[in-house]
Amino acid sequence: MPSPRQTFENNIRPAQLLLQVYRLLDANDRILTEGDLVDALKSIIDVDDSEYVMVITNEIFLGLIRESAQLHPTILRQATLCHLLRQAIVNSSTALETFLPTLLRDNLPTVIQAIGRSFIPLGDKDLMEYFKDLTFTLDETLRLINDENAAIYISNKIIGLANFKYLSSRKGVLVVAKLLGLSNPWGEIAEYLERDRKELMKMMEDAVSRRNDIVHRADRSRTDPEGDPQEINYAWTKQAVDTIHHICLALDELVIKRMTEFKALIEANSVTE
């Protein structure tokens, strides 16, 4: 079974690929159909002079599209290529949303086994609010008494609720990280990345909010759902995708460190018993 990190990497890779494809095809709306370069490329691949071709050229790519592709030039204009950027935002948010429950599933039983009921600190408003709908029946409570698999059972109940609640947000990161032993999640992530905490949280919130605009309103603003789609550019999109990537990698590495500590505590407890 892949690790949470591998699952995340697999899910965010399409977002990174979409950014790369955008850069390859971005010719600033200047598609060549004639001229010395077009003639030279036709000659190289032995294309008949009468065949209509389109040539894309920029700092990193030189490509020729033949007539048989039946691709209209407007498809390659920035107004259309921007949809690649929008989909990259959607994919990166989805990668985050699938990463957090996976991280919980792999590590929460260890936390519960190591520190018992203290895995949810008393008075933690964030966790109490998030899990206010989590309930255990009398039968479930009784079966947990002296059950050696109680940690796994409780973990599965929590993950089951998390799967039905929206985790793709800065609060989702906060809740998951706290459950896995990080007392100050965003502060620790920011310090680990040597980034500003507020800037990190805002960038994630902006990306997730934009994802909602794209999915639910064809990228129209929530305040103007009948207006034109919002503008989007490569630089902002890459920053958003990279920020989500960096946050998740940092969280994964911080959790791995905490799990090492918890496993040592479990081992120490088993020796004293």
Closest CA relative to residue 134, chosen from 89, 164, 112, 102: 164
Judgement on whether residues 84 and 210 belong to the same structural domain of the protein: yes
Rounded mean pLDDT of the chain? 86
What pLDDT score does 15 carry?
98
Q: Phi/psi at 57 (nearest 5 deg)? A: -140, 135
Q: Which domain holds residue 160?
A: 4-25+79-272
Q: What is the pLDDT of residue 77?
A: 86
In this prediction, residue 147 carries a pLDDT of: 63
pLDDT at 49: 85
162 and 101, same domain (yes or no): yes
Q: Are residues 144 and 237 in the same domain?
A: yes
How far apart, in whole angstroms, are the C-alpha atoms of residue 102 and residue 118? 22
Q: What is the predicted pLDDT for the residue at 163? A: 56
Contacts of 234 (CB under 8 A, 6+ apart): 19, 22, 23, 26, 85
**With the C-alpha atoms ordered 67, 72, 76, 82, is the resulting torsion angle positive or negative?**
negative
> What pLDDT band is residue 30 in, cutting at 50, 70 and 90?
confident
Give the pLDDT confidence score for residue 111 in this predicted structure. Answer: 87
Cβ-based neighbours of 228, under 8 Å, separated by 6 or more: 220
pLDDT of residue 139: 65
Q: Answer with the residue of higher pLDDT: 44 or 155.
A: 44
Q: Which residues contact 209 (CB under 8 A, 6 or more apart)?
A: 222
Count Cβ atoms below 10 Å from residue 235 Cβ, excluding itself. Answer: 7
pLDDT digits (tens, 9 = 90+) for 85-109: 999 999 999 999 999 989 988 998 8
Q: In 145-233, which ranges are continuous DSSP H helix?
A: 150-162, 170-179, 185-193, 197-217
Condensed to tens digits (0 to 9), the pLDDT of residues 130-183 reads 666 656 565 666 565 666 666 666 666 666 655 545 566 788 899 889 889 998
The pLDDT confidence band at residue 205, using thresholds 50, 70 and 90, is very high
Range of lowest pLDDT (47-56, 98-107, 160-169, 240-249): 160-169
Decide if 53 contacts 64 (C-beta within 8 A).
yes
Q: Do 51 and 134 have their domain in common?
A: no
Using the 3D structure, point to which of 14, 48, 76 is the last residue of a domain. Answer: 76
Looking at 39-53, 120-134, 181-195, which range is the least confident one? 120-134
Residue 232 Cα to chain centre, angstroms: 18
Tokens representing 122 are 């008393």
Q: How confident is the model at residue 239 (pLDDT cuts 50, 70, 90)?
A: very high
> Among 250, 226, 91, 239, which residue's Cα sits nearest to residue 176?
250
Residues 162, 209, single domain; the answer is yes
Same domain, 96 and 192: yes
More confident residue, 40 or 131: 40
Query: Are 109 and 158 part of one and the same domain?
Result: yes
Domain identity same for 21 and 38: no
If pLDDT is split at 50, 70 and 90, which confidence band does 78 have? Answer: confident
If asked whether residues 16 and 68 sit together in one domain, one would say no
* Residue type, position 260, single letter: T
d(CA 237, CA 247): 15
Residues 51 and 99 in one domain: no
Domains in the chain: how many in total? 2
Residues 6+ apart with CB under 8 A from 15: 87, 88, 89, 91, 92, 95, 241
Partners of residue 32 on adjacent β-strands: 55
End-to-end CA distance of the chain: 32
Examine the pLDDT at 273 and tell me if it is beyond 60. Answer: no
The two most distant CA atoms of the chain are separated, in Å, by 86
Which of 76, 110, 135 terminates a domain? The answer is: 76
Residue-wise pLDDT for 185-202, tens only, equals 999 999 999 999 999 999
Q: Write phi, then psi, for 148 (nearest 5 degrees).
A: -70, -15
Do 102 and 21 lie in one domain? The reply is: yes
Greatest mean pLDDT range, 67-76, 146-155, 232-241: 232-241
In this structure, the answer to whether residues 200 and 65 fall within a common structural domain is: no
What's the pTM value of the predicted model, to 2 decimals?
0.84
Picking from 76, 102, 135, the residue at the C-terminal end of a domain is 76
Counting residues of the chain whose pLDDT is more than 70, the rounded percentage is: 83
Q: For residue 33, how far is the Cα from the chain centroid? A: 39
